Amino acid sequence: MASLKDVALKAGVSPATVSRVINKSFLVEQQTKQKVIKAMEELGYSPNIMAQNLSKKENFLIGVIIQDICNPYFAGILKALENEIYDLGYNIIFLHSDSNLFKEKNCIKSIMKMRPDGIIITPIEWNSENILKLKNIDIPVVILTKIFEEFNGVAINHKEGGAQIARHFYDLGYDKIAYLGNNNDKFQGFQEELQFLNKKLYSYLEISLDKYDFKMAKFLVKEAIENYIKNNKELKFNAIFAENDILALELISVLKEFGKKVPEDIAVAGFDNSFFSEHFGITTVSQPINEISKLAVKILIDNIKNRNKVLERIELTPRLLPRNSTMILK
Amino acid sequence: MASLKDVALKAGVSPATVSRVINKSFLVEQQTKQKVIKAMEELGYSPNIMAQNLSKKENFLIGVIIQDICNPYFAGILKALENEIYDLGYNIIFLHSDSNLFKEKNCIKSIMKMRPDGIIITPIEWNSENILKLKNIDIPVVILTKIFEEFNGVAINHKEGGAQIARHFYDLGYDKIAYLGNNNDKFQGFQEELQFLNKKLYSYLEISLDKYDFKMAKFLVKEAIENYIKNNKELKFNAIFAENDILALELISVLKEFGKKVPEDIAVAGFDNSFFSEHFGITTVSQPINEISKLAVKILIDNIKNRNKVLERIELTPRLLPRNSTMILK
DNA sequence: GTGAAAGCGCTAACAA
DNA sequence: TTGTTAGCGCTTTCAC
């Protein structure tokens, strides 16, 4: 593969001039520029970005680590981030942690090797070792979809989202209210609001974190329901909040398998407003993906350009989208 | 950020020794190795991959360009590719062309700058300029989900997939058969099989390629249906093949809006077996994503290790999955 | 088993 | 406006 030196030789100029044509072409005379461009084309020259970055301070690279690219919600975030980032002239290094803490660790390691100007990450776990490690690096980091004490972050208020579902169930008169998922902020907000309304959580169907994976959702849901039935003989709750739309989707099919009608027998609500939830009429809480992404990039770039900025933690308000899975439409 | 030199200084050894610890640690004595490792940890050292790659010939980087990451089908491919590639000790540079030829061009440009050892791409268009440009590079390329004359490639036989849908409609007795999508191999196979069965395509609802984007699917489908109605007064076909599951999904809701029942009034079939199609009971054609990805990586690595190999073009057989959207289940 | 030195492909002073 | 030179952080001969 042709190098800058080859181009210089072919064009009969110095390497520096070729470099100028690439980076600050306004500094070079029209005529020489044309010679150089011609040589580049003839050689099919493409600058070696590794070498470029080695000799520059800023390399216009932003690392993005996404948790589960098969989840349309995260795919949407990545796409929104891309749009923002490219517009600003930066490039993205995307890495996929695949909801796996070990892989996430490797993602962070890999990204650090590339010396990005900044990092945006949707972390798998609250306060995992992986994230703590990010505290001690000298590269700006923005955490997405979760808020951490000592990091920049953009997220919706998950507690409020959970609370919205609780109020929704309450308003509709459901009295045996369950939760399916992990013990997280959504769950906390859900539970606190129930308490505030003088209700108690009727059942907690746990999905253990370390096994959680998009492809396994169906299996996990089934397992959770079967466990519940083993312990309680039958499905006794009449409303259930699943921590995300994928779980909700799977839950609805599993409930059907067990002869339950949704929402007549059991109401189901999800979270995220993934693209399919509208089609399925799943009641959910919408996250403003574009706004989140836009803010994340803004904060990151601010931090890159202007170090030692104070941390920014922005919480956006989620919005309940009531649909058929909790309400019988007339 | 600490450099190899800093580590060498701190450990009291030469840079070369530090490099050996990183790459060929068996060549260095236990004791020195420990000193070096300690220094690396204390400095939080992480090798600069840009510099590493600059001085190596092979850099264990594979570029992957995906067409539409928000489409679960492509997200699944990316994930499957990742698993294969990481297992072999390579890293992935993922780029997203977003079903946009201009962006695809930039993706290719960017990837070339990184000097990957190989490239895997799901191209947007048959024979676009972008793809033709890949012919003249000295890096192995594997094309996914489409088969091109002069490239390595892995795909299902799309014509056969289309034909399967045609036979399915025929077997079920549908007589007014339509197609929604682009003029591609699926469509060709679909149409040819209809002809073979002495049927004619009843209607062709085109979705123009350059506008096609996942997020716009709903809009495009609606537009196509409205156009159809404008020209034909009412929806006259009783079975329709949408070129992928996303279109099929959107189509089903749009048809419902127009008062049609699926499949009683109109049968709908999709393509890809995206994860949601099972839940919706959408008849579809399944693509063996894992097998495709595994083969693609295998071919690519073969080509990397062993240049001047003959081209490999593998076509896998798709499989029809009949579901409720075309058949009334008893 | 280890170090010195050259070089990967590029950019960025500095000089001319 | 252009060329010369040093150097980015690493690997890799070649000596020792």
CB-CB: which of A79, A95, A114 is closest to B69?
A: A79
A47 close to B (CB below 8 A): yes
- pLDDT for A216: 80
pLDDT attached to residue B114 = 93
Asked if A89 and A134 sit in the same domain, the reply is yes
Same domain, B199 and B243: yes
Task: Report the number of distinct structural domains present in chain A.
Answer: 3
Q: Note the pLDDT tens digit of each residue in B77-94.
A: 999 999 999 999 899 999
Pick the residue from chain B with its C-alpha nearest to A56: B50
Q: How many CB atoms lie within 10 A of CB B25?
A: 12
Residue B70: CATH number of its domain: 3.40.50.2300
The reported pLDDT for the residue numbered A212 is: 54
From chain B, the residues in CB contact with A137 under 8 A are: 44
Half-sphere exposure of B282 (CA within 13 A, CB side): 31
Q: Give the start-end residues of each E strand in chain B.
A: 61-66, 91-96, 118-121, 141-144, 152-156, 177-181, 203-206, 239-242, 267-269, 284-286, 313-316, 319-321
Both tokens of residue A301? 């770039």
* Whether B231 and B309 share a structural domain: no
- What local confidence, expressed as pLDDT, does residue B209 receive? 56
State whether A34 and A115 are in the same domain. Answer: no
CB B147 within 8 A of CB B299: no
Tens digits of residue pLDDT in B164-197: 999 999 999 999 999 999 998 999 999 999 999 9
Query: Is B174 contained in some domain?
Result: yes
Tokens at B81, concatenated: 């590719």
3-state secondary structure B184-212: CHHHHHHHHHHHHCCCCCCEEEECCHHHC
**Which tokens sit at A243?**
């921590």
- pLDDT for the residue numbered B1: 87
Interface test with A, best of B54, B113, B221, B262 (most A CBs within 10 A): B113
**With 60 as the cut, is the pLDDT of residue B316 above it?**
yes
Residue spans of chain A under pLDDT 70: 209-215, 308, 329-330
> Which residues are paired to B240 by β-bridges?
B178, B268
pLDDT at B330 over 70: no
B109 reaches A (C-beta below 8 A): yes
> Based on the domain organization, do B122 and B230 belong to the same domain?
no
Asked whether residue B162 is domain-assigned, the answer is yes
Do A30 and A112 fall within a single domain? no
Are B96 and A109 inside 8 Å of each other by CB? no
Cβ–Cβ gap A47/B113 under 8 Å: yes
The range of the structural domain enclosing residue A190 comes to: 158-286
B46 contacts A69? CB cut-off 8 A: no
CB contact at 8 A, B97 and B109 = no
Verify whether the Cβ–Cβ distance B96 to A82 is below 8 Å: yes
Residue-wise burial string across B206-233, b where 16 or more C-beta atoms lie within 10 A, e elsewhere: ebeeeebebeebbebbbbbbeebeeeee
Asked, for residue A330, whether it belongs to a domain, the answer is no
Q: Are residues A270 and A196 in the same domain?
A: yes
Q: Indicate whether A168 and A278 sit together in one domain.
A: yes
CB contacts of A275 in chain B (<8 Å) are: 70
* Nearest to A99, CA basis, from A220, A228, A227: A220
Cis peptide before B116 (omega within 30 of 0): no
Q: What is the DSSP letter of B324?
A: T
Interface A:B, Cβ pairs < 8 A? 103
Instruction: Pick A51's closest partner by Cβ from B54, B138, B253.
Output: B54
* Residues A279, A276: Cα–Cα separation, whole Å: 5
Say whether both B199 and B79 belong to one domain. Answer: no
- B44 to chain A: which residues are within 8 Å by CB? 136-137
Band of pLDDT at residue B211, cut at 50, 70 and 90: very low
B280, part of any domain? yes
Domain-located, residue A328: no
Whole-number Å distance between alpha carbons of A18 and A33 = 8
Is there a single domain that holds both residue B169 and residue B277? Answer: yes
Q: Would you place residue B136 in the very low, low, confident or very high pLDDT band (cuts 50, 70, 90)?
A: confident
B38 CA vs C2 C1’ separation (Å)? 18
- Three-state SS for chain A is CCCHHHHHHHHCCCHHHHHHHHHCHHHCCHHHHHHHHHHHHHHCCCCCHHHHHHHCCCCCEEEEEECCCCCHHHHHHHHHHHHHHHHCCCEEEEEECCCCHHHHHHHHHHHHHCCCCEEEECCCCCCCHHHHHHCCCCCCEEEECCCCCCCEEEEECHHHHHHHHHHHHHHCCCCCEEEEECCCHHHHHHHHHHHHCCCCCCEEEECCHHHCCHHHHHHHHHHHHHHHHHHHCCCCCCEEEECCHHHHHHHHHHHHHCCCCCCCCCEEECCECCHHHHHHCCEEEECCHHHHHHHHHHHHHHHHHCCCCCCCEEEECCEEECCCCCCCCC
Chain A, residues 232-291, CB within 8 A of chain B, namely 249, 252-253, 275-276, 279-280
Q: Are residues A163 and A281 in the same domain?
A: yes
Nearest to A278 by CA among A298, A253, A249, A307: A249
Residue of A58, A69, A280 for testing the chain B interface, max B β-carbons within 10 Å: A69
Distance CA(A143)–CA(A151), nearest Å, equals 7
Interval B111-125: pLDDT, tens: 999 999 999 999 998
Domain of residue A30, CATH code:
1.10.260.40
Do A278 and A179 share a structural domain? yes
Taking CB atoms and an 8 Å limit, are A75 and B79 in contact across chains? no
Backbone angles phi, psi at B105, to 5 degrees: -60, -45
pLDDT recorded at residue B112: 94
For chain B, give the percent of residues with pLDDT over 90: 79
